[in-house]
Structure 1
Amino acid sequence: MATSLQTSSRVLPLHQSPQARPTTVPAVFRAAARLLAHVGHYQGDYCPDPFDRRSNTPHASRPLSIVAAIRCVASPQGDNPHRISELSEAAVKVLAGRLEVDGEPAWNDEPHHLEGHVAHWGDVEGRTTESAVAVLEAAADANEVAA
């Protein structure tokens, strides 16, 4: 049912804005941080049961890895952690450049390796949702200052 506003003899539809999608790397980091804070951080894969063998729950409602959260919020509907976009790849590249795993930076600039570097950082034993959220928020702050 559409909501409308009647003015004199015309009926104007009220503006119903779709949920805003991030359009910048810092906005992707902030949206991914909010999503992880809501669903939790997942280690070892994009999300539990990524091939839906046991669950019908939407992927964006399950705990997510950092890369999956970034891809999810950068996807057109904001719900697909498997969809790669230019914006999600740019965000992964920036984040990979900020993270070290075992004291080492990302060793290669190829997108697949950058994704693996971010995933390895998130998969470190004891990595918490709070630390993943904090790193995303810090990356957003740093990227806004640099821009």
Structure 2
Amino acid sequence: MTASFQTPDTAPTVRPADVSAAFRAAARLIAANGHHQGDYLPDPFDRRTSSPHSSRPLSIVAAIRCVASPGGDNPRLATELSEAAVKVLAHRLEVEGEPPWSDAPRWLENHVDCWGDLPGRTVESVVAVLEAAADANEVSA
């Protein structure tokens, strides 16, 4: 079952119900707003910005968590769906030729963040990886 939510500047959006849908929604979010490196998002503590988190550039993990969170705007909230998606994605990515070295949630998140933070990582490459992960996950499901 999916739940609908509405962000301040968009029409109602359907929350993803599975890992593949979470990857596709995160890809759309990053394609629309940009990929952020080095932290979850610009001004993560809202000291200078009051815009919704979902309208800012996001890291990969932040985008996945944002789309999977109730209301679709919390890049820090780990849900069962977001953590499953991060785990699947971490095992698809290599950083310096290495897979994740632990299945602990924090290390999986760190592995995905390290991949996304590599110099020269583009929005296009992030979106392509998320879309490919969604396709592969649908085939294996």
* TM-score normalised by L of structure 1: 0.87
1:43 is matched with: 37
2:13 and 2:102 map into 1 onto residues whose CA distance is: 35
Return the match for 1:27 from 14, 21, 39: 21
1:140 is matched with: 134
1:104 and 1:19 map into 2 onto residues whose CA distance is: 36
Alignment of 1:79-90 (within 5 A): 79-90=73-84
Alignment of 1:99-110 (within 5 A): 99-110=93-104
RMSD: 1.1
1:79 and 1:137 map into 2 onto residues whose CA distance is: 21
Gaps of 5+ in 1: 1-17
2:67 is matched with: 73
Gaps of 5+ in 2: 1-11
2:52 and 2:13 map into 1 onto residues whose CA distance is: 18
The ranges of structure 1 where at least 4 consecutive aligned residues each deviate by more than 3 angstroms after the TM superposition are none
2:71 and 2:48 map into 1 onto residues whose CA distance is: 24
Between the two proteins, what is the percent identity of the paired residues?
73
2:16 and 2:103 map into 1 onto residues whose CA distance is: 24
1:138 and 1:38 map into 2 onto residues whose CA distance is: 18
Number of aligned positions between the proteins: 131
1:54 and 1:81 map into 2 onto residues whose CA distance is: 17
2:14 and 2:61 map into 1 onto residues whose CA distance is: 20
1:76, CA displacement in angstroms?
1.1
Letter in 2 for 1:69: A
1:19, CA displacement in angstroms?
2.4
* TM-score normalised by L of structure 2: 0.91
Return the match for 1:93 from 57, 63, 87: 87
Considering only CA atoms, is the larger Rg found in Structure 1 or Structure 2? 1
